[in-house]
Structure 1
């Protein structure tokens, strides 16, 4: 199979879909790999790193999309990229379709077969291709929130760990999954007073156990959130409904109950955001203010630490990418029902139920899509 990897063009996105190590693995399995020149530069990989292991460097993304049988990316294809996709081509990347009807329509119109990293599952009910980026985003969230709390950046002027005689920051984390747990580790490590909420009592027991009483756990409901945000210096939104739009857990009206200069960090922004006032931002302009509350809503947080993120993502995607290349997408999905969960579009049909519910679009079952 001819595998192509274009340079990411989303603003301030420095990751790359294929590392040289992943390209070498594909080549060693008998596949051809073409990489757009400069694609790996933001992650610290040179064109020479790819050519010396047998990959071909091409000058333009247009050539990648025209030639490649499988296109491997990091972020969802931008409008100019979507116009180059075609039926019979395989796209393997993050998509986050539920809050993005225009992208969904473009993918359906193109006829491309699109497998989304974020909806591939594992036998434990996890999301193995989302997990490494969730770890990165979770660990970044308190760090970015702490920066936003600085007075010069519009925040309350509160130090996360406080100092002797001055209390630390109050940090509320909504969601105790991969993102929330990673965020809690860093926030606790910074000395903050951390409360983490989740709707699973077994998960709260697990968190209480692993943190040895260094944070507070609380069952997540509307009343608990409403109470905690009145005292919070920082709120980290870390909720996820696989494939679906994130629920809105803090309303515009509730911002008036928060302390002036408090910070909302919305890690769920790729899925539409979990705060009513959230809108996607970039690393160039990451923060905005609504009713005195600072919002950090960067839609590609892991791109800030591109080398770490690229290597972590590549480690996770490699086995699936090889299965798709070695077997073809139909056989790979037939053999692995967890990979089949990643199928979002094929031949003009939407094939993921959570996305269909969110966008009110009819869905063709993945099993039937395999036969088209």
Structure 2
């Protein structure tokens, strides 16, 4: 939940209208007052009010100045999505804002490094670093330098509204992930921002065919997956489909761990339920696929993601709660491969490197 609820706040529809008018009039003081009233109004608004307000608030994001509280406005729209507003109707302005700030943060890093005055590594993303010396180091027009510095310092604030729309709509993920993943990963690689949640949400696979080979039995399967936040969740669902479905030997995951992975209702808090590993996961080239990673880490071989399951080297377990509480995972058996088909896929694999 982005905001905690509080009683006795103004009517949300009215204060959103006031904010729209203030933004349209380009009245800074009026906009600031209206924005505060909106943030206050959200705390007591019911679901019906949030459903209506979400797209209206999202539509205002591009009109806010880059040096203003755009991320907080996007967060307000994201809160409305959490309360039932249409994620697809709110997604484009929110995710366009995410992309702009990611690019601006990368440009900040480029200019900081290019200055080359021996000031050392990239600074921490803290607004206390913004002063006249920093603006001079970045060069260019002062307002632009301020925009880049603010993006560097506040880009993590976009994660909450981004997750609100990405985790509630496969169509939103399909439409925006391709353009956002490269810039998100480029900025994360600089190791100054924690963008793990955003990166994971963008990498979620939907309606994705997966070839799964079980080395101990020489059998193979095609499984269609979607909405899976990490490989812990994938591991549980593979064991559920293949062991629980009677296709492989072993101990199937508990009904509760499967429910936690697949329940359409958002998860509420930590469950304490433990899932136990049934396999070791490997890529076709023998490299390990880590449970801490993503289904997107599984390489594509001849047009299909190819995953090899082997006997676990030792017993391992983990908390069964899914990475994204609001995003249920799916894994459905499409087919059991014939011996000939399985052997053809096995021929494309190498022994594990461990």
Q: Select the structure of larger CA radius of gyration.
A: 2
Q: Which has the higher contact order (CA 8 A, sep 6+)?
A: 1
More helix by percentage: 2
Q: Same fold (TM over 0.5)?
A: no
TM-score using structure 2 length:
0.25
What is the TM-score of this pair, normalised by structure 1? Answer: 0.24
